[in-house]
């Protein structure tokens, strides 16, 4: 299978592990992700205002690139990109006059975008579409019932128009990980917000959120937290480290992209991950389970 792939900014830098592991995993599953040519930043956060159309240009331009690629589906790894692209597409689909205005702004573009030409697909949805037997067959390492907390954060399930699964109790990640031999734990904080971009100006809030989320995962027996968003990853990973430095009794949990673990289980060399990018080193846990 072939699918267009939109990396977004952070996947090439801070979240490089997400990209390398996802692409390696997809290769194992016979999916070819073809990076878009000449892509730009999607703007990261969808503009919720009805009259600030300038903010829709970046995501729509990305969708134009996807349309020009000739393939009708666009894969995103980053959940922020997913959310923004999908909501912008919906926005212009539902507002014809705004759509026309946006296209007029971009009159230098050769292609027009109407809203529903491209299906934006999140990596979790794509993995979920793959036959579970095929997925199971690709798993070569025994996870030994590794207990994982599946963290969705906000943007994969909210708002409900773009949710990849049930808004209040998504199960996609659990199903994938179960198929791969892991044990997802009860994790009532799986869709609780990590405070997102507020980490920049209100780190205090983000820290408290991290504490709550990690506490819940740990309490329920998780050995690691798995997620699919570079910003959640940064917040939960970096802020745990800070919390621990401040108070050594705070026990940390490693945070990985779900694809990092799945790739390792599917036999991808664990060394393709750049472990220096992690604030909490996941290797001890992986080592313990014999996954390195």
**For binding to other proteins (CB under 8 A), which residues are involved?**
8-10, 13-15, 41, 43-45, 47-52, 55, 78, 80, 154, 157-160, 166-169, 186, 188-189, 191-193, 195-202, 204-205, 208-209, 216, 219, 230-231, 234, 238
The nearer residue to other proteins, 123 or 266, going by C-beta atoms, is 123
Instruction: Tell me how far apart the terminal alpha carbons of the chain are, to the nearest angstrom.
Output: 29
Nearer to other proteins (CB atom), residue 52 or residue 70: 52
β-bridge partners, 4? 34, 74
Considering the complex, what minimum distance in angstroms separates the CB of residue 154 from other proteins?
Answer: 4
Nearest distance in Å: CB 240, other proteins: 15
Supply the angle between the helices 96-105 and 79-94 in degrees, to the nearest 10: 110
How far apart CA 115 and CA 84 sit, in angstroms, is 13
Q: Considering beta carbons, is residue 103 or 198 the nearer one to other proteins?
A: 198
Return the axis-axis angle of helices 258-265 and 172-179, rounded to nearest 10°. 20
Instruction: Give, for 82, the enclosing helix (H) or strand (E).
Output: helix 79-94
**At how many degrees (to 10) do helices 203-219 and 230-246 cross?**
90
- Provide the minimum distance between the beta carbon of 77 and other proteins in the complex, in angstroms, as a whole number: 12
Which CB sits closer to other proteins, 69 or 216?
A: 216
CB 35 to other proteins: min, Å: 17
Q: Which is nearer to other proteins, 72 or 197 (CB)?
A: 197
Q: Of the two residues 110 and 245, which places its CB atom closer to other proteins in the complex?
A: 245
Phi, psi (rounded to 5 degrees) for 89: -60, -45
Which of 218, 208, 48, 235 is CA-nearest to residue 153?
Answer: 235
What letters, b where the CB count within 10 A reaches 16 and e where it falls short, cover 20-59? bbbbbbbebbebebeebeebeebbbebbeeeeebeebbbb
Q: How far is the CB of 205 from other proteins (least distance, A)?
A: 5
User: CB 250 → other proteins: shortest distance, Å?
Assistant: 18
């Amino acid at each position: 299978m072939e699918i267009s792939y939109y990396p977004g900014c952070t996947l090439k830098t801070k979240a490089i592990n997400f990209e390398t592991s996802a692409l390696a995993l997809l290769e194992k599953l016979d999916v070819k992700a073809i990076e878009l040519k000449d892509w730009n930043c999607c703007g990261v956060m969808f503009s919720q205002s009805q009259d600030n159309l300038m903010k829709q240009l970046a995501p729509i331009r990305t969708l134009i690139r996807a349309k020009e690629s000739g393939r009708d589906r666009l894969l995103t790894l980053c959940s922020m990109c997913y959310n923004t692209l999908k909501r912008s597409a919906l926005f212009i689909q539902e507002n014809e006059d705004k759509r026309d205005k946006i296209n007029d702004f971009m009159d230098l573009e050769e292609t027009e975008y109407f809203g529903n030409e491209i299906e934006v697909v999140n990596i979790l949805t794509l993995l979920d579409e793959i036959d579970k037997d095929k997925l199971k067959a690709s798993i070569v390492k025994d996870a030994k019932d590794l207990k994982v907390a599946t963290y969705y954060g906000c943007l994969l399930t909210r708002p409900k128009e773009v949710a990849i699964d049930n808004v209040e109790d998504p199960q996609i990640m659990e199903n994938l990980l179960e198929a791969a031999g892991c044990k997802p734990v009860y994790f009532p904080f799986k869709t609780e917000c990590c405070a997102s971009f507020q980490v920049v100006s209100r780190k205090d809030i983000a820290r408290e959120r991290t504490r709550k989320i990690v506490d819940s995962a740990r309490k329920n027996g998780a050995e690691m937290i798995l997620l699919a968003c570079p910003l959640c990853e940064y917040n939960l990973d970096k802020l745990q480290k800070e919390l621990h430095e401040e108070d050594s009794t705070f026990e940390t949990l490693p945070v990985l992209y779900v694809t990092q673990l799945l790739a390792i289980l599917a036999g991808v060399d664990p060394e393709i991950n750049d472990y220096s990018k992690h604030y909490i080193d996941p290797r001890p846990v992986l080592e313990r389970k014999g996954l390195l």
